Chains A and B, each alone.
Chain A
Amino acid sequence: MLRLRVGQRLASATDTTAVIVIKASADDVSLTCGGVAMAAESESAGADNPSLAPLDGHDHGTQMGKRYESADGAVELLCTKAGTASLAINDIPMTTKAVKALPASD
């Protein structure tokens, strides 16, 4: 279990996925990628050097630049490096969140 904070960078242990926390809940959560807990980017073996493979059913992939939110909307991550595994909070898959893009207005 992990207490997330906004701005925290996390890396996957099962693939190349890396994320940054955009929105955090006050509760401890279990954040996994490929079914295995994610760790602080600096502590992990390195996002470019995954040591395990994603578990079955946790291998739908992540897309760079997409935002992923938890089912209750309390946690939001931005994918900064793509991979083959998928993200889950407390065993529930995270889903991509569409940006209501401005028509290039500024």
Chain B
Amino acid sequence: MNLSLLLDMAADGFGDRIVLGFRDGGTTADRLRRRSLAGSRILRDRAADGLIYLGVNSPLFPASLFAAARAGVPLIPLNYRLGDEQLRQLIAHHPNAVAVADDEHCERVAAGGIQTFSMTTWSAALDEPAAAMEAPDDNRPAVLIYTSGTTSAPKGVVIRHANLLSYVFDTVEFASAGPEDAALISVPPYHIAAVANAVTNLYAGRRSVILEQFSGAQWLALARRERITNALVVPTMLARIVNADDEDLHVPTLRTVAYGGAAMPPQVIERALRAWPEVDFVNAYGLTETSSTIAVLSPEDHRAATASDDDIVRARLHSAGHVLPGVHLQIRDDDGNPLPHGRAGRIWVRGAQISGEYAGIGSTLDPDGYFDTRDTGYLDRDDYLFVGGRADDTIIRGGENIAPAEIEAVLLRHVAVADAVVVGVPDDEWGYRIESAVVLHPNATATPLELIAYVRERLRGSKTPERIVVWDELPRNDIGKIVRREAQARLAHERT
């Protein structure tokens, strides 16, 4: 199977519908097919074995994704914020690829000896007529996404056509979107959600509007102008939208806001729920290796949690909800044994959309087909999934395993705390000692000693940070994930 099937169906089923861009002058499904076909021709004529995409998200992203798909080569979206050296190392893995790059990044790719199109020349080339072309059917890699490397060196995650197609077929009804539906896409193109969004919105027949560079005010302005009904944001974006210096956050057409990509601070989602009582919120949990979403907390779950007097039900507002029908999930201990409900362990998942495959490494699925997400978590009595943090972030203090997420959750409940990170800092006596950095709300005050006492009242002493410092902001990558290595290095450095 090949992703181009989705585009062919869209063009056959609703070819005249605008599926990409603004209400005026956007791209129809038919035109998207013609443009991606022209792109496939270029890739095949040049015997490219991959298509590198280096730039902001734009209408050229879906066209490039489908051009690569029909040519039978993976799309390789790279992070344009990477430093020259890091970028050079990634590009060196793909000497026979063709690249498309934003004007200011062309030189950086071309320096690696790669045939490079600027976005402008690529866009013009896609308007050239091209003869029809059969898409290869042998389940090749559709996308290669390098992990953000917040905990280790970047790894290339291989996502095959069948992974993405099974996700689409299991979760989206073809042509189910109404003619007024429009999704606002503000995630960068090297994030799995951008890939998933491009294919699911097209298959549903929902117009995608792309915000190239995010700011809260621009998001609101574009949402109003383009009559956006659906949106996907990462938590830092939602925080900026609900904190935007905008008299009212009114977006009359907005129906659904999905969030994911990083842990959502409780205060942010609670504020958003108050700001937009009419909007359906969806928490989507997934990884690059799982072809995006594997569990969702539905709008009904959000409302039930908010309205309930039962602590167990209320807590679900901060859960990832239920796994998708096509996904099987197990919580396992460190030795791989399944754990019962309520016990925290490592999250393992199985299903047709799960890739678990890395370039140069191969499949990492276990003999039963399960993938180790390296996230910790547990299931409550009704199978709601609670995600802790990365197993790799676990702090080993004096032989005890301590999850930073648990301590961060307590700190984020403090009325003065806007953001918090907890890390292990090397220590002669304990191996690692627990330290924390927090960001306070504007005009809020709290002393480190107060915060330490606050944690100690709620968690036992061994889980209480020895030191808490106040910073202006935490090191986060552009998806909004905390870069723990940086926080740890800065804490260790400030100490000495």
Contacts and interface: CB of A to CB of B under 8 A. Distances in A.
Contact of A7 (B9, B137, B325): B137
Interface stretch (A28-36, A53-61, A95-103): A95-103
Contacts of B293: 102, 105-106
Contacts of B1: 6-7, 20
Given A64-B9, A64-B174, A104 B258 contact: yes
B17 to A, nearest CB: 14
A100 B325 contact: yes
User: From DSSP, what is the main secondary structure of chain A's interface residues?
Assistant: loop
Contact of A102 (B5, B9, B12, B324): B324
A100 B172 CA distance: 8
B49 interface: no
A87 interface: no
B282 A105 contact: yes
A64 B175 contact: yes
Interface in B232-288: 232, 256, 258, 260, 280, 282, 284, 286
User: From DSSP, what is the main secondary structure of chain B's interface residues?
Assistant: mixed
B139 interface: yes
A11 to B, nearest CB: 14
B458 to A, nearest CB: 32
Quick one: which of A78, A100, A104 has the most chain B CB within 10 A?
Answer: A104
B284 A106 contact: yes
Given A7-B137, A64-B174, A106 B258 contact: yes
B209 interface: no
Contact of A101 (B5, B172, B232): B172
Contacts of A67: 169
A22 interface: yes
A14 B167 CA distance: 32
B171 interface: yes
A104 to B, nearest CB: 4
Contacts of B282: 102-105
Contacts of A81: 12
Chain B interface bracket (under 10, 10 to 19, 20 to 34, 35 or more): 35 or more
Interface string A6-48: 1100000000000010100000000000000000000000000
A106 B137 contact: no
B9 A104 contact: no
A84 interface: no
B183 interface: yes
Contacts of A104: 183, 200-201, 204, 206, 230, 232, 256, 258, 282
A106 B169 contact: no
B193 A99 contact: no
Contacts of B5: 20, 80
A102 B172 contact: yes
Contacts of B286: 106
B396 interface: no
A65 B298 contact: no
Given A7-B1, A106-B200, A106-B284, A101 B169 contact: no
Given A6-B162, A106-B260, A106-B292, 15 more contacts: A7-B162, A20-B1, A64-B175, A65-B13, A80-B8, A101-B172, A101-B176, A102-B293, A103-B282, A104-B201, A104-B282, A105-B171, A105-B293, A106-B197, A106-B200
Interface of B: 1, 5, 8-9, 12-13, 137, 139, 162, 169-176, 183, 193, 196-197, 200-201, 204, 206, 230, 232, 256, 258, 260, 280, 282, 284, 286, 292-293, 296, 298-299, 324-325
15 contacts: A6-B1, A64-B174, A99-B169, A100-B171, A101-B171, A102-B293, A103-B298, A104-B200, A104-B206, A105-B282, A105-B296, A106-B197, A106-B258, A106-B260, A106-B292
Interface of A: 6-7, 20, 22, 64-67, 78, 80-81, 99-106
